[in-house]
Amino acid sequence: IGRAVTLEVVQRGFTVAATTRRLDALEALARLASGPGRVVAHVGDVRDAGRMAEIVDSIERLHGPIALAFLNAGAAAYTQPGRLDPEAVEDIYGVNVFGVANALGPLLDRMTPRGSGQIAVNASLAGYRALPRAAIYGSSKAALIHLVEALRFDAEPRGVRLQIVNPGFVSTPMTDRNDFPMPFLMEADVAARLICDGMLRGDREIAFPRRLAMPMKAMRLLPRWLYDPVIRRLLRQRRKG
């Protein structure tokens, strides 16, 4: 998703300071990009808080104030029935929650004093409510949703817009490993256009596809005594299928 969003943003004329752990991946991304914008590389691991602070400082020193940040790093792990791997929890939260916080903190430190800036955090529809096998991944995304919504109370009056991106299933190497049905699976370039459109509109939440997002939103309103039997029934149907 990050690669597709980068390519889309470059086509729209922006300079993108892209970050990942490998320089060769960033160089390959820069070669793919075409349009009036460009890609500049800043190598780093989101799990390294010090390095992320250095990257934010370097971007602003070399390229000027960051107008829009898309915090997209993510990893997934699915639980097996009756089991929970503490190391998997640490690994997934280390990327999905602490990795985002490691970038979000320095960005807010820069944007808040100047009273301008925009930060979009990529979470997931899986963060709306508990789903089978998604105890680790879903709860990490729920944490991001809560984090962004809570920070808005202080950030928005100070001129910093916070957005949450809640995609459904997007075709990526991560979803290629999934061994369960993925309704309304979409290509990454389609998702990227929806994300960029929402970011430029300033939407508080960018949730898609609508055919999945709307039922998931509705399920958040169901009481526990009704929600649990619905999910169990869907599980039984999937096992029979």
What size, in residues, is the chain?
A: 241
Cα angle 198-166-54, degrees, rounded to a multiple of 5:
80
Report the pLDDT value the prediction gives residue 179, as an integer from 0 to 100.
Answer: 77
**Residues labelled as active-site residues:** 137
Q: Which residue has the tokens 């998702």?
A: 191
CB burial of residue 171 (10 Å; 0-12, 13-18, 19+): middle
* pLDDT for res 240: 61
pLDDT digits (tens, 9 = 90+) for 5-24: 999 999 999 999 999 999 99
**What's residue 173's pLDDT?**
82
> Is the model's pLDDT at 156 over the cut of 90?
yes
**Each residue of 39-96: pLDDT tens digit?**
999 999 999 999 999 999 999 999 999 999 999 999 998 888 889 999 999 999 999 9
96-148 per-position pLDDT tens digit: 999 999 999 999 999 999 999 999 999 999 999 998 889 999 999 999 999 99
In angstroms, what CA-CA distances link 110 with 37, 149, 160, 164, 202?
23, 20, 10, 20, 19
* pLDDT for the residue numbered 82: 87
Chain position carrying tokens 């916070």 = 162
pTM to 2 decimals?
A: 0.93
**pLDDT value at residue 162:** 98
pLDDT at 241 over 80: no
Predicted pLDDT at 51: 98
Query: How far, in Å, are 26, 126, 166, 232 from residue 217 at the CA level?
Result: 36, 11, 11, 18
pLDDT at position 232 is 87
